[in-house]
Amino acid sequence: MTCAMTISCYFLKYQVSRLAHIYGSRHVEMKGKSIILPNVYVRGDFANVRIGRYCHIGNDTIIRPPFTPTINLVNSFQATETIKSKNRSSLSSQEQEQQQQQQQQQQQLSFLPLQIGSYTRIGSQCIIEASSIGSSVTIGDACVIGQRVLIKDCCRIESGTILPEGMVIPPFSVVRGCPGKIVNENYFGGSAGMLPESSAVEIVDESVKLFEEFVEQEKEREGLAQ
């Protein structure tokens, strides 16, 4: 943790590193008391990004809203294929112009909002392109959360896990692997592949404690610097 690179924003109740890259900041909403460490990329210039309270985002992680092809994209692709089937030499100038416009439309993407619930911790070197990550979720280091993934509350995604696009993770699940699968193990009294219900309270307490300890370290560092 590079504490020396962190801006102390006590009046706003969150900590954002000077080396974090927040694009489209007007579209990035942080409810407060969250920590964003160095070299994190948050792409609010694509779509709205909402981050809850007491979240922690580790070094070198990318938070990028998911995208989906627009209806125009599908229709333009079909139309372009029809035009390609014609003899190019017989195309009029109007048809050629229409073809160029349709090819440009093919490149258009529609980005969706990304929401991260409160008390969620995301490790370092992750790529996050989910539609929604619930509250009290723990994501380990070097995870890839694919396009439009939905992670419900109180889940644990273990380090190195890759979740393919569109996957839905039910509450209290423990997931690992490439591609990610719910594991068949018992965790502290929970069912196979599930966290116990008490973990919802434990994760909240741990997240609050993590933020408080981080703030105290920052105050001590600033005191030594003076």
Cβ neighbours of residue 76 closer than 8 Å, sequence gap 6 or more: 102, 103, 105, 106
Predicted TM-score (pTM) of the model is 0.76
84, 70 contact by CB (below 8 A): no
Is the link from the previous residue into 196 a cis peptide, with omega within 30 of 0? no
DSSP 170-213: -TTBEEETTTTEE-----TTPPTTB--TTHHHHHHHHHHHHHHH
Provide the token pair at 138: 């723990």
Q: Name the class of domain 3-67+113-225.
A: mainly beta
Give pLDDT tens digits along the chain (226 positions): 333 333 334 334 678 888 999 999 899 999 889 999 999 999 999 999 999 999 999 999 999 999 987 655 445 545 555 545 555 555 566 666 666 665 555 457 789 999 999 999 999 999 999 999 999 999 999 999 999 999 999 999 999 999 999 999 999 999 999 999 998 665 555 555 678 888 889 999 999 999 999 888 878 877 766 5
Burial of 152 (0-12, 13-18, 19+ CB in 10 A): middle
In 3D space, the residue among 36, 56, 225 whose CA is nearest the CA of residue 138 turns out to be: 56
Structure tokens at 223: 């005191």
Distance separating alpha carbons of residues 102 and 77, to the nearest angstrom: 7
From CA 74, how far away is CA 17, in angstroms rounded?
41
Written as one letter, the residue type at 59 is N
Structural domain boundaries of the chain? 3-67+113-225, 70-106
**In degrees to the nearest 10, what's the CA dihedral of 86, 92, 95, 101?**
120
Fill in the amino acid letter for 196. Answer: P
Q: Rounded CA gap, 116 and 133, in Å?
A: 5
